[in-house]
Amino acid sequence: MKRLVNQHPPRTIGYLLGLLPFVLLLLAYVAASAARLAENPNDPLLPSLGTMFETFWRLATEPSRRTGELVLWVDTAASLTRLALGVGISMLMGLVVGILAGLIPYAGRTLSPLITAVAMIPPLAVLPILFITFGVGELAKVVLIVFGIAPFIIRDVQQRVEELPTEQLIKAQTLGASSWLIVLRVVLPQVFPRLLDATRLALGAAWLFLIASEAIAATEGLGYRIFLVRRFMDMATILPYVVWITLLAFLFDLLLRLANRWLFPWYGGRR
Write the CA distances from 101 to 9, 105, 203, integer angstroms. 46, 7, 23
Nearer to another protein, 48 or 173 (CB): 173
Nearer to another protein, 192 or 207 (CB): 192
In whole angstroms, the minimum distance from the beta carbon of 268 to another protein comes to 9
In whole angstroms, the minimum distance from the beta carbon of 154 to another protein comes to 21
In whole angstroms, the minimum distance from the beta carbon of 249 to another protein comes to 29
What does the alpha-carbon distance between residue 74 and residue 62 come to, in Å, rounded to a whole number? 12
Nearer to another protein, 190 or 213 (CB): 190
- Cβ within 8 Å of residue 158, ≥6 positions away: 97, 98, 99, 101, 102, 108, 112, 115
Nearer to another protein, 70 or 177 (CB): 177
As a whole number of Å, the end-to-end CA separation of the chain is 36
In whole angstroms, the minimum distance from the beta carbon of 183 to another protein comes to 9
In whole angstroms, the minimum distance from the beta carbon of 72 to another protein comes to 42
Nearer to another protein, 244 or 267 (CB): 267
In whole angstroms, the minimum distance from the beta carbon of 168 to another protein comes to 6
Nearer to another protein, 78 or 191 (CB): 191
In 153-220, the DSSP E strands lie at: none
Write the CA distances from 35 to 44, 48, 132, integer angstroms. 13, 10, 48
In whole angstroms, the minimum distance from the beta carbon of 269 to another protein comes to 4
Nearer to another protein, 145 or 186 (CB): 186
In whole angstroms, the minimum distance from the beta carbon of 97 to another protein comes to 21
Nearer to another protein, 91 or 191 (CB): 191
Residues that bind another protein (CB under 8 A): 165, 167-168, 170-178, 180-181, 184-186, 189-190, 264-267, 269-271
